[in-house]
Structures are given as C-alpha cells and as structure tokens.
Structure 1
Amino acid sequence: MQTYLTPIRAAVAAVALAVAAQSHAQSAVTLYGVVDIGINYSSNTQTSVGANGVPVGHRQVYVADGLNAGKMGSRWGLRGKEDLGGGLEAIFNLENGFSMANGAFAQGGAEFGRQAWVGLKSNKLGTLSAGRQYEFTTEYVGALSAVTTFGGEFSTHPGNVDGLLNIRRANNSVKYQSPDFHGLSFGALVGLGGVPGSVSQNSVVSGGLRYNVSGLQAAVSYLNARNPNISAYGINPSSSGVTGNNLGSAGSATSAQNAPIIAGFASANTLEEVAVGMTYTMGAEQFGAVFTRTAFEGLGNTSQSGPNSLHLQGSVHVNNAEVSIQHHVTPLFYVGAAYDYAWVSSVGNLGTSHYHQVSLGGDYALSKRTDLYVLAAWEQAAGTNSLGKPAVAQIGYMSPSATNHQLALTAGIAHRF
C-alpha cells in the first residue's frame, strides 16, 4: 500500500532533514594515520658495557617501525571540529603512536602519547588549546630540518638533544597560535608543573615565530624547561621519576648505553634552548639550514632533578649546525642529503666532544599515499661524552655504537590514510 505524507508531515520531515544536513556540515571527525616499517642494518649496535667500562657491540639486521629507524612513526588519530558560529570552532586531536614491528604502544605506553588536546579556533583571533601538545622547537624549526624534509630518524641530531625529531611534547600545557598575517605567525606555550607550593618547578615555557612567503620558510623558537629530567624527558608513563635518569643510561653488563651524549646531565635545574631554521625552494631544489643551542643549566640540583654520578656542577652547552639539500628528480622521486656538526662544551672534569653526521635519502611515491624509501647515515664521534667515557656514535634513537663511528641503512615503505 502506498503511503502519502500530509502537508504538515512533509514540512516536519523537510525541517528535520535540513537540520540534520546543517549539523553534519557544522561538525566533522576525521580518522587518519601513518604506517611505516623498514628493514634496517647497523654496522655496530651496542649490546652491553663490559666490566672495564668498554662497550660491546656487533653488526645488526632487524625490522623496525619508522620512528625507530625510518622516516616517520606509525600512528593513528582522530581530529575533529565543530562550527560554533561567528568564525569560531571547537577542535580536538587525539593521536596514538605504535610500533609496526610488534604492535606495542609507543611513547612509553601512553594511549594517546603523540597528542591529546582540545581547544577553540577563531579565524581572526587564533587558536587556544590545552592538553599534551608539541612545543615550538619541534613544531616550527623541526619542520624545516632534514628530519622532516627527507631524512626522518636518520637525520636526527645526536641524542635528539634539540628535539627536532617530533617526540618532545609538553604535558598539562596551554598553547596559543596566532592566525597567519601575510605569511607571518607566532605562538606561545606554558606547561604547568602542577607542584604544590612551586609555580615554576617542572614547568615548560616555549614560543616561536615563523615566516612563509613564496619559496622561503623561516622560523625561530625558544624553550625553557625547569627540572628537564621530569618536564622534558620524563613525560611518558614509563618514565622513572625524579630518582631515575630519564635522559639516558650508562648501560650495564646486560644492557647498552642510552643517549650517552646527554645521559650525564639529568641533574640540570633548567634546559634552555634557542633554535633557528630556514628552507628556500628554487625550482627542483630545496636548500635548508638549522642551528640550535641547547643548555643544561644548574647541574647538581639533586633536590628536584635526576642522578648526578659524576657530581657535575655548572652548565653545559650542546650546539648543532645543519645544512641540507633536496632535489626532485621527477615529481614522484626526490633525493636529499644533510650534514650536521654537533659540539658539546666542557663541564667539570669532562672535556669537549664533537660529532660529525652525514645522512642521505631517496623517496619514490607509488601514489599520493604510499612511498618507498631508502635512507643512510654515517656518524663519527670524538672526545668525552656526558658519562665521562670516550664518545661513541649514535644515529637517532637507534642503539649507540660500541665505537666512535656507526653506519646505518634502511629500506622501507610508508602509507598514509
């Protein structure tokens, strides 16, 4: 039997459909992600530290997620917005990191360890957000470094001391980002330490300025993290707390060293960093340069910070200078190269240390979403590291070498959805 709508019912149905359509247009949630995995080779991977203090290492071939030895970390996320009217939107971002090699959570087991924030966005006034977010060295200057432009993990500066590889986040933070003013934008972030009786303890302050016009992109950033063993390096659920060392480790008879370039600086009262970077695109070439200066200040602050086995006092500076070039052979295929020189000042009984690193990469796009890539990096170290031992090479967050040099190669596939 055929059913006919009365004029009133028809009008009600039309209004309901209009409201539903309007509601759908005003709010949206997007599921997105990246899966990245590769086969990797390291000429020397440290496995332990002998009784004489000399590291032990061997060649290694293994499968790893892109965050550990490739172009980008595997992730999935939810990004949403709701139109509130008058040019104002409610926005949020929840992003999980995981390992393609074994399926485990990344970021120390955090469910949304990459990002977890909510905020308001105005076309005229900018964006205000709160939660777990990237600070501005990572977001502004990191975007212009070889880490992002082509090299991923293989172009990370030794120990990722300057945070250009996008793993440095601020918990409990409030962040403002301005609108774009003819290519110029800026932002500021405050991470609240949450310690009763002390506003500054465990706090993070970050700011940045960037400029983007024609083929030129440039950015400058500032970061100040109080008690960085907690506020900058102890931000994941797996962190060892105040009494442990979240910057790295000296290794043992059953474990390798971890970030020996900075592991001895866990007792710093403050981490202070200034970074500047630029890229310039001219035809098929993109040229880049980055300089960062990271200071661990107030070493020996045992009341709030981590261990200090060498009883260091004062401050130490870690500087990185990088130049890079990327060439598009075709619209689907590009190659890149970068050189970074890192040098660490002396402090206490520690002498200086120096690190030379060359990274190379090639990427072929099978489609808009799927890439095949190859990466290579070589690093040589000299001097004395933060543990008071002869400096060893360490490419990105891969296990350090047992010697002062290391070569790493990878071939991988990355798919974005």
Structure 2
Amino acid sequence: MKLIKTSVAFLTLSALGSAAYAQSSVTLYGIVDTGFLINNNVKGLHQYAFSQATSSRWGMKGTEDLGGGLSAIFTLESGFTSGTGTLSQGGLLFGRKAFVGLSSKTWGTVTAGRQYSASNDLTSSFASGADWAASGLGYGTRASDVDNVDTSNRVQNSIKYMSPNYRGLQVGVLYSLGGQAGNFSQNSVVDAAVSYTNGPLNLGAGYTFVKNPYYATFGNQGNSSTPSSSATGANDNMNNKIYGGYASAASQQIIVAGGSYTLGPAIIGLLYSNTQFQNLGSVNAVGQISGPKYTGGTATFNSGEINLKYQVTPALQLGGAYIYTHNSGADNLGSAKYSQFNLGATYSLSKRTSLYAIGFYETASGIDSTGKRAVADLNGSAYSGNNHQLAGIFGMTHRF
C-alpha cells in the first residue's frame, strides 16, 4: 500500500511539473535569403553582387504564463548577411529586436528595449517596400525610406504599449529615452499610431517626433553624441544624397497614413507620408555627408504610393507599385522630385521556401539635400551617376 501511495504521489508531481513546463515556451525562428543583384548605375558603374530581398535573420521568442491572463514575453532577433555571414544593423548582435515585456489579452502589451515603432507596426503593411518589394535590400521604399516605414531605423531604449484589438480598432504609443545626462529630452523619440480593420478594409496612421535624429535613430545608439557606423561603413541612411544633407536638423517629424482593400485575389494599397527635418543647422553632425551649411528652416518631403498585389495561383503572386516623392528643399536652395516603379513576382515552392524576381527603376530631378543636381539613389544602394537608376534581384527565401 505504501508503495502504491508513493507511486501515485510521484506521478502527480510529475504531471504538475509537466503542466507548469507546458505553460512556458521558447521558439527559435529565422529567415535565410540569398539573391543575385544587378544594378546598372552605381556612381556610373554596373554592379553585380549577392544580396537579399528579405532580411536574413534568426531569433528567439518566448512566453511564460503568469496566471490571470498575464504573460511575460521576450524577443531577441539578430540580422545577418547570408552571402558573407556578417551581422547587419551596424554589427549589433540583436540589432533587429531585443525587448522584454508583459502581455494581457484584456489590457494589451507593454515591451521595453530595442524595437519597431508603433507607427511601423500599424502602417508598414500598406507599403510595397516593407512587404514584397525587397524589404531586406531596401530598394523598394519611398526616397531612401525617408519616412521610416521600412524600419531602416529602429527605436532603442524605448518602452511601447500596444492595445488589444477591440472590434477592429488598435492603438499604440512609444517613448524612447535619449539617455543624455542632464537633458531628459535630447535624442528622445515620441511615437503614436492607430489602425482599424473591417472585413476587406484596413486603415492605419502614425505620428513620430525625434529629437536630434542624426544621433537618436540614424546611429543605432540612442544615447550617442557621435554617429556610429553601419556594417557598410556609412552612417546608416544619413549618407544618402536624398536627405543626407539634413543631418544638422534639431528634430524630425513623420506623419504617415495608409490603407488597403482586398478584392478577391487582389489587394490594393495606398500610402501617404509627410516628413520634416526641422530647425536645420542646430546640430553639429560630425562626419555627415558634405552639403550646404543650413542656417535654419525646414525641409519637407511629401510622398505617395499606390501598389497592387495579385495572387494569380496559390503559389504565384505578382506585385507592382508607383511611388512619388517631392522634397520642397530648405533655405531657398531648391527642391527635388523622385519617381519610382517596383515590379515583382514570388513563387512558393512550399509554405517555407519561395523564389522571387523583383525590379526597381527610379528617376530624379531638381536639387537634392546636398545642394547639387539630384541623382537617383535607391535606398540601400550607392547613388547613381545620373538622374536614373535601374536594378533587379532574383533569388530564394527559406523560413524556419
């Protein structure tokens, strides 16, 4: 009898232990993408190289049931270049995501660390460059991703709240601490967004305000007083011709709104953004791209995009997009206009493996942020030697 009681107690404890263990989970996931890139004009020269349409990455995410509908969560995600194995995001180990938080189905989710903005969470799906048009390569975005819809710049040292989805409505807010001693607001980021879903209709809008953007978001170190360098040797996206000359801005403001509508196998998307580099000449941007010494004023970018995805068969998807961006200029130094076309096809070999072919064409006119004649400058690429740039990439993506 004693032996039976002992066995029952042991089995009961084992079952309880298994149940407790089942309430916690850690998932390893990732994407490996490799493609062959052709660019007809990189500073006047043809380029042939390995690249990636979707950012290669690996990560871990986990959850622990704390009871009462509350869970502890975390995500660590590292980006890398499949062709060389080097780290992306300026060489940061977990440069894509690194956060921990609490989540409740009733009250929403609070996370803290390095993460995407709420605006990106609720509006990026409307942009071709953040979806099928080579989000990893970056070529498919609006004017060097000046509105950050493609998350060229993540937000570090931040705390974010995302509400539950209530009858299709969801809101999110984020605040990033600059970390500068004696100055609470320097290098800080304020962000808010809202989305609404009703059947085939999806809508979203976001607002972002960044103090000292050259250091707060473009350097991969939110508390930095000097710019950091990316894996390619450039100060992230501030070394492009389109807006690199505005690194001395005291603040950056981004307003973005968009939507999509599903019609059978087709999804039509629209996106508008207004980006302002304000109070130019206020920040000593060490090592910035050469350009005019602005003494004030605001440079404003207005950008619009229309795109279409069409599911031809369960395996084959086609996509197309047109993007127009107007830079109004600053200090009476002229303005610039950029037009871009994206075309792509994706063929799924399975749920986890797909083949793709994507093309990009951009033209430019006017005077750019450096005070010189505007040239084409696809995001993620070195600038063209003239006012147009044509590129294409084809390859394979595997998800695990």
* Aligned 8 A contact 2:258 2:272 in 1: yes
* Aligned 8 A contact 2:139 2:381 in 1: no
Cα-to-partner distance string for 1:187-227 (whole Å, 9 max, x where unaligned):
10000111122211110000100112211111000000000
**Equivalent of residue 204 in structure 2, options 216, 219, 225:** 219
Cα RMSD after superposing both structures: 2.2
| Deviation at residue 349 of structure 1 after TM alignment | 4.4
- Matched with 1:50 is none
Which one-letter code corresponds to 1:133 in the other structure?
Q
Distance 1:323 1:262 in 2: 22
Alignment of 1:10-409 (within 5 A): 10-46=7-43, 57-64=44-51, 66=52, 70=53, 72-152=54-134, 153-236=138-221, 242=225, 258-302=239-283, 309-312=291-294, 313-409=296-392
**Equivalent of residue 410 in structure 1, options 380, 393, 397:** 393
Cα-to-partner distance string for 1:234-286 (whole Å, 9 max, x where unaligned):
1259x9x5455979x9x9xxxxx941101110110010010001111010111
Distance 2:335 2:373 in 1: 10
* Aligned 8 A contact 1:131 1:173 in 2: yes
Cα-to-partner distance string for 1:355-414 (whole Å, 9 max, x where unaligned):
010000000000000010000010000011111111111122112211110000111100
Which one-letter code corresponds to 2:163 in the other structure?
S
Distance 2:190 2:121 in 1: 14
Which one-letter code corresponds to 1:126 in the other structure?
G
- Matched with 1:49 is none
Distance 2:227 2:293 in 1: 15
Distance 1:344 1:245 in 2: 26
Distance 2:146 2:291 in 1: 20
Matched residue of 2:112: which SS? strand
Distance 1:62 1:372, change over 3 A: same
* Aligned 8 A contact 2:215 2:221 in 1: no
* Aligned 8 A contact 1:229 1:245 in 2: no
Distance 1:245 1:75, change over 3 A: closer
Distance 1:396 1:274 in 2: 20
Matched residue of 1:182: which SS? coil
Which one-letter code corresponds to 2:252 in the other structure?
L
* Aligned 8 A contact 1:29 1:79 in 2: yes
Q: Which ranges in structure 1 are unaligned for 5 or more consecutive residues?
A: 47-56, 252-256
Matched residue of 1:371: which SS? strand
Distance 2:378 2:329 in 1: 22
| Deviation at residue 166 of structure 1 after TM alignment | 2.6
Distance 2:93 2:14 in 1: 37
Of 367-376 and 8-17, the range deviating more from structure 2: 8-17
Matched residue of 1:314: which SS? coil
Distance 1:277 1:201 in 2: 30
| Deviation at residue 154 of structure 1 after TM alignment | 3.4
Distance 1:350 1:45 in 2: 26
Distance 1:170 1:260, change over 3 A: same
Q: Which ranges in structure 2 are unaligned for 5 or more consecutive residues?
A: none
Distance 2:97 2:360 in 1: 29
Matched residue of 2:208: which SS? strand
Distance 1:43 1:304 in 2: 32
Distance 1:358 1:394 in 2: 13
Distance 1:243 1:27, change over 3 A: closer
* Aligned 8 A contact 1:107 1:113 in 2: yes
Distance 2:141 2:284 in 1: 32
TM-score normalized with structure 1 length:
0.89
Distance 1:135 1:305, change over 3 A: farther
Matched residue of 1:10: which SS? helix
Which one-letter code corresponds to 1:16 in the other structure?
L
| Deviation at residue 303 of structure 1 after TM alignment | 5.6
* Aligned 8 A contact 1:245 1:306 in 2: no
* Aligned 8 A contact 1:39 1:62 in 2: yes
Distance 2:170 2:139 in 1: 29
Matched residue of 2:129: which SS? helix
* Aligned 8 A contact 2:118 2:162 in 1: no
Distance 2:246 2:151 in 1: 21
| Deviation at residue 12 of structure 1 after TM alignment | 2.6
Distance 1:245 1:114, change over 3 A: closer
Distance 1:196 1:205, change over 3 A: same
* Aligned 8 A contact 2:177 2:189 in 1: yes
* Aligned 8 A contact 2:219 2:227 in 1: no
Distance 1:236 1:392 in 2: 29
Matched residue of 2:132: which SS? helix
* Aligned 8 A contact 1:371 1:415 in 2: yes
